[in-house]
Chain A
Amino acid sequence: MTAALAEAGKIGAFVRRDFLIAWSYRLAFVTDVVSMAAQAFVFSLIGQLVDPAQLPRYGGTPTTYMEFVAIGLVLNLVITLLLDRVANAIRGEQMTGTLESLLTTPTRTATIQIGSAAS
């Protein structure tokens, strides 16, 4: 249990590393954030075209178009993560030459995979 917690604790290190790398490309970082905000704005505009009365209700609770979109985006993200992100992240580590250095540390392969794809 302790070992599993220690492994889980390493995920934070991956997130910090990837944030610092992303932050080092300031313009790309800012445009990514702007792009996400723009996407949300576009979806909210599209949502205004949809009549809420046409949307299904769950247990009497009304839903909104944005909730549908959010579920779709999360599903898309999960599929991307499973099919693409892990492999690409590991390939990236290999290309930068850091994979072997990572593998010489007492870190489980699963942690490296999850950590590399987590951020």
Chain B
Amino acid sequence: MATSSASSAIGVCEVSRRFGERDVLRGVSLRVAAGEIHALLGPNGAGKTTLLRILAGLADATSGTIDMATRAGLVPSGDRTFYLRISGLENLVFFARMHGLRHAAAKRRALEVLELVGLSDAARRPVGRYSHGMQKRLSFARALLAEPTVLLVDEATHDLDPEGAERIRALTRELATHGAAVLWTTQRIDEIRGFADAVTFLHQGAVRFAGSVTELIARGDTAPRYVVRVRNGRPDVPPDAAVLQRALGAGGAVAPAGDAPGEHFLLAPRGDTTLGRAIAELTAAGYDVLSCRQERSEIEEAFLALTAEGAR
């Protein structure tokens, strides 16, 4: 895992931002090293986008210092950041020229980055006819035009299908492998597992947590609940929570999952009872446990725990 060091590509020190009477950022500090993917988490209104806007030079900090490479690429969260009537290629040529390239060089670079994000085939199609995922990839391509050493990504995957989201993450991983420092804000909290090297959690403008994904998971280490699908071999008599509870005894709590009677139940093992033992108890009582999944992921638990801590 990449670690923060004095040679950080992004250095944010005690940054605050006030809008009128409202403190949107309160003394936020973080460092992102070259080659590191740093996830910036937090509920809506936590200040993530404001921090990214400050880093991109679109807003000023009220106080604090920023130390960052000048070549930064921004992938904004908004949908409409292109000229929809002209092609993806012409859009990129225009933005490349804004980066100071002459027309021929701009076109060459635009074609390169389109190839990189897999949009070569759609290069000459008006952006208005691109799908949402394609526009997002085009947004990535634009951010790469100036060969940035820092990539600021604002909720790039929040409304993409799983395949599109994975494609964007793979591209980001590739860039980080080549040395780019990535600051990645997201609401899709589970995507940071195996993807982000470090995490900063913001809540109400302040840093509530900074560390690795493993450390974050440890923060949400509460008793997990599982959704189990149970069948009792008698289609005429569906499984009943009270009967399941009796079978489990003091080893855990069982409640119906959802309002309608059915095969799904919430199971919360208690004390020393492990999940395996609880399932064994149900099986011994004549029930077939068809499936079992954790109700919420550890990261989601950590997210909720940190948000609740911040609200207190």
Measured CB to CB, the residues of A under 8 A from B are: 6, 9-10, 12-13, 16-17, 20-21, 24-25, 96-98, 100-107
Contact = CB atoms under 8 A, between A and B. Distances in A.
Nearest to A7: B100
A106 B100 CA distance: 8
B311 interface: no
A51 B278 CA distance: 106
A104 B72 CA distance: 9
A97 to B, nearest CB: 4
B57 A100 contact: no
B126 to A, nearest CB: 7
Given A96-B80, A104-B58, A10 B97 contact: yes
Given A103-B58, A104-B56, A17 B94 contact: yes
Binding site secondary structure of chain A: helix
A25 B85 CA distance: 9
A104 B106 CA distance: 17
A97 B78 contact: yes
A104 B90 contact: no
B71 to A, nearest CB: 9
Interface residues of B, number: 29
A106 B99 contact: yes
A55 B27 CA distance: 72
B102 A9 contact: yes
Contacts of A98: 80-83
Contacts of A25: 85
A10 B98 contact: yes
Contacts of A96: 80, 83-84
Given A9-B102, A96-B80, A104-B58, A20 B90 contact: yes
A33 to B, nearest CB: 18
Contact of B95 (A16, A20, A97, A101): A101
